[in-house]
Structure 1
Amino acid sequence: MRKRGLITLVAVGLASSVLPAATASAAGNPLTLAVFGDSPYGKSAYAPAGQTADTSQFQKTPAFIGTINSDPTVSDVIQVGDIHSGKEFCTEAYDASIASAWQTFAKPLVYTPGDNEWADCHKASSVTSPGQGGGFYDPASGSINYIGTNGVSTDPADCVSYRCGNPLDNLAKVRQDFFAQPGRTLGNGELNVVSQATAYDPSHPADAQYAENVMWAQNDIVFVTVNVPGGSNNDTDPWYKVPTATRAQTDERTGRTAADVRWLDAAFAEARAEHAKGVVISAQADMWDLDGKTKDHLANYEPIISEIASRTTEFNRPVLMLNGDSHLYRSDNPLSPTAPCTGETDPATGAGVCAHDPGDNAWNEHPYYNVPNFHRVVVHGSTTPLEWLKLTADPNANHPVTDTTYGPFSWQRMPQPQL
């Protein structure tokens, strides 16, 4: 198989080295990728709540994968997180079922975890609102009521979700199922990516745990993924609704965020060293989505947004960010106070998705930056018809900023009406 996009990082300080000659033949040619996320969504069966299962999207997944496999122009696939909904329990069996389904991709698949498969697994409100099967704090007893097989329970042995929805345990399970071999992509075919698990900064050896953070280069474009879960970066919503976030939760967010920042810094260093024509960042979180909450709910994304803004400005070439999380397709630049925003209509309100923000501009959620060489696309997810984004990166192109083009990048939505 042809090797594509191998980056070699010098161990000391993550200094980037020259890309091998094997990638030179692809340089200058257009590259097409399929991008999707927040899929397949459904609902877990739970008898105490009278809740029946909905697996319709999961049943459509083989045909969905088939539409991507059948497109001869697609070289790689990116999944931007959330392999199930917030109404599905976090279980070993479900994670394994997705890992098995993804083995049928004919192309290499790069995946970054979403909040629903780990950070939010603890969430539940009551026996009639079991959420992801975790649990909820009982102020009267000072204990956690878990969602058990026959109703709420204080016995962890009764939990319906993996490890009672503990986020750290569920993230470890995601790594076991999807990142057991750091630097190896999912699906089929060969795409040479570098994982933070093997190319971490030696000054920060704990960064080796973030096997899900990868980078690679193809056709004069540098790609990088970072584990940034939606909601509040796994910190503003205390696990199990306890009064104050635990030390374990705070340490998780602090450690991962710092590792993400270092990994982004390494990716941009590589892009500068290789004179890349652009950078593509993939993460699950829509870090500008208020979701009906106050701006404080997004504050823990600030270190990552600040890093992206500063490195993008320094790079001075086009940077494209791909994320899911907020479900509605959107094309904008949330790092500019004047950039236009376009997107699909929110079926819940009948208004355009940009109207979610004051002044129709997500810049208002973090009004600190003015970075013109940045663009962001939110991929559609969670509802049928299932949809993927067809992204083309042409290093020789210089498209104007429109709702479907930016610099070397152009894209089109690919809804699958037959599904």
Structure 2
Amino acid sequence: GSNCSDALFYDRLERYNTFSKPFIYTPGDNEWTDCHRVNAGEYQPLERLARLREIFFTNPGVTIGGKPMAVESQAFVPGFEEFPENVRWSKSDIMFAAVHVVGSNNGLKAFDAASSAVRGEADDLEVARRIEAAIHWINDTFDKAMEEDAPGVLIMMQANPKLEVGYALPGGADLTNARLGFNEILSVLEARTLAFGKPVVLAHGDSHYFRVDKPGLVENGFISNFTRVENFGSSRVHWVKITVNPKSEHVFKVRQMIIEANR
């Protein structure tokens, strides 16, 4: 994990604001979930989550970045006001949504035994609450996409929800356990993707491995209209460009963008 100090948060915010475009930020495990680790500062993760929201989401419904953009925020949905980070927007009639789902089994992994940080009931309750919010936001996004006859949907999150595990574990308890923290979300994503019937992309990071594939979600194996895109990560710092064409059969086009200095 990385250092989780306020100073680092402000440094990252300053960097994000140098982008000339709107910057959509969805929190990841390094920023709060894993901050209990000794090398991250031995913080209580829930304290870091609260601070992260204070720093990066001061104006719900408006992005950060050099050219802020208005977005729909779950903070304005009654009953989910504590989730300003879950946002949605439309571009070229395509529906995009950011959902707060993080690595380390979505925050369920045990704390570092060497750390002074202590995991309590509140940490488990936070995970359950965030899963509830994620499911609501995914359902709401697909409802809106179907209502507006959107040609495609892109869902972004930080976590790799262990989709590739399904290649080796076709189902049953082993697969469920491997995807602890993600199972309910994947079930909803699968059902909504099948019902939507048009291209759906899940874009994420987390495991630092660039890939574009079509893994199964829960029960249905290959789903022709579902594609997973994982971005590059630490030690392989490049980026991925996704362009959209609502008139194209596949809607989304993925390109790997290699930074020469980082080869």
Both structures adopt the same fold (TM-score exceeding 0.5): yes
Does 2:185 match 1:312?
Answer: no
CA contact (8 A) 2:24 2:63 kept: yes
CA deviation profile, 1:377-407 (whole Å, cap 9, x unmatched): 00111114x3111111100111xxxxxxxx1
Q: Which residue of 1 aligns with 2:92?
A: 219
Q: 1:280 to 1:261 in 2, by over 3 A?
A: same
Q: 1:121 to 1:413 in 2, by over 3 A?
A: same
CA contact (8 A) 1:212 1:227 kept: yes
Selected match of 2:223 from 347, 364, 371: 371
CA contact (8 A) 2:33 2:104 kept: no
Does 2:107 match 1:234?
Answer: yes
CA deviation profile, 1:150-169 (whole Å, cap 9, x unmatched): xxxxxxxxxxxxxxx11111
Selected match of 1:172 from 42, 50, 53: 50
Q: Which residue of 2 aligns with 1:183?
A: 61
Task: Indicate the SS of the match to 1:269.
Answer: helix
CA contact (8 A) 2:97 2:154 kept: yes
Whole-angstrom CA distance in 2 between matches of 1:318 and 1:382? 29
- Which residues of 2 match residues 90-239 of structure 1 at below 5 A? 90-124=4-38, 131-134=39-42, 165-198=43-76, 200=77, 202=78, 205=79, 207-235=80-108, 237-239=109-111
Q: Whose radius of gyration is greater, 1 or 2?
A: 1
CA deviation profile, 1:90-119 (whole Å, cap 9, x unmatched): 100011001011111101110100001001
CA deviation profile, 1:65-109 (whole Å, cap 9, x unmatched): xxxxxxxxxxxxxxxxxxxxx1x2210001100101111110111
Give the CA deviation at 1:176: 1.1
Whole-angstrom CA distance in 2 between matches of 1:90 and 1:324? 19
Give the CA deviation at 1:245: 5.5
- Unaligned runs of 5+ residues in structure 2 are 166-173
Does 2:248 match 1:397?
Answer: yes
**Count of paired positions:** 249
CA contact (8 A) 1:261 1:304 kept: yes
Give the CA deviation at 1:300: 1.8
Task: Indicate the SS of the match to 2:234.
Answer: coil
Whole-angstrom CA distance in 1 between matches of 2:111 and 2:81? 25
Q: 1:192 to 1:104 in 2, by over 3 A?
A: same
Give the CA deviation at 1:190: 4.1
- Unaligned runs of 5+ residues in structure 1 are 1-85, 125-130, 135-164, 336-362, 399-406
CA deviation profile, 1:326-347 (whole Å, cap 9, x unmatched): 1010111222xxxxxxxxxxxx
Whole-angstrom CA distance in 1 between matches of 2:35 and 2:99? 20
More helix by share: 2
Task: Indicate the SS of the match to 1:418.
Answer: helix
Higher relative contact order (CA 8 A, sep 6+): 1
Residue type at the aligned position of 1:222 = M
Root mean square deviation, CA, Å: 1.9
Q: 1:367 to 1:268 in 2, by over 3 A?
A: closer
CA contact (8 A) 1:238 1:246 kept: no
CA contact (8 A) 2:23 2:68 kept: no
Whole-angstrom CA distance in 1 between matches of 2:68 and 2:40? 34
Whole-angstrom CA distance in 2 between matches of 1:306 and 1:369? 12
Sequence identity, in percent? 35
